[in-house]
Amino acid sequence: MDVKIEASWKKVLKQEFDKMYFQQIVAHLKTEKATKAVIFPPGGLIFNAFYCTPFDTVKVVILGQDPYHNVGQAMGLSFSVPDGEPPPPSLQNIFKELHQDIGMAIPTTGNLTPWAKQGVLLLNAVLTVRANEPASHSKIGWMNFTDAVIQKISDEKENIVFLLWGKFAQEKQLLIDETKHLVLKAAHPSPLSAYNGFLGCKHFSRTNEALIKNGINPIDWSL
């Protein structure tokens, strides 16, 4: 597996890469590839979140569930799509909330790489998916890995803002030490739930208020 991952993460996660469950993930993906299954995101982008946002720069964590399963959408950053791809419905609602919260113009791109480069870890709990089969890799071991990532951030860093949208993400709250970090929770931005508390949550302005309060540069949410 082509692990394109920034050096500080390699150091922090070395033990995870050596564990049996991780070897089993690799074996599973190799087997899928051998059977000509189409996996998203493409191999070089599976660890894109860890490439764009070094461990040392993480300020904010936005947790997604698993990658987009349609052709051309998944790029290894939760909620993000490459330039030229129309923003999917959940991302459209994220942009709506940004507009309502901080007055940001609705972006013309759904590519969130500029956030990642400022320290927003756009982490999916599951890092791969079979084409057109949502949650098809949810039980191959990725959760062990991403739970360890959340735990490492919680244990080894301070004053991180975790944005947990929807029930699935909120189950990860147990991994976070809230005496050191801020957890903000809301409904998922999906059209099915956005009007139940995501729109109006003001998480973007609240994130920046918390960062500024702790002497950390705020995020420029514009794209």
Residues with active-site annotation: 66
80, 82, 159 from 209: Cα distances, Å: 24, 29, 12
Distance, first Cα to last Cα, the chain: 31
Strand (E) positions, the chain? Answer: 39-40, 60-64, 120-124, 129-130, 161-165, 182-186
Q: Can you tell me the distance from the alpha carbon of 10 to that of 71, in angstroms, rounded to the nearest whole number? A: 29
CA angle 125, 114, 186 (to 5 degrees): 45
Contact 137, 31 (CB under 8 A): no
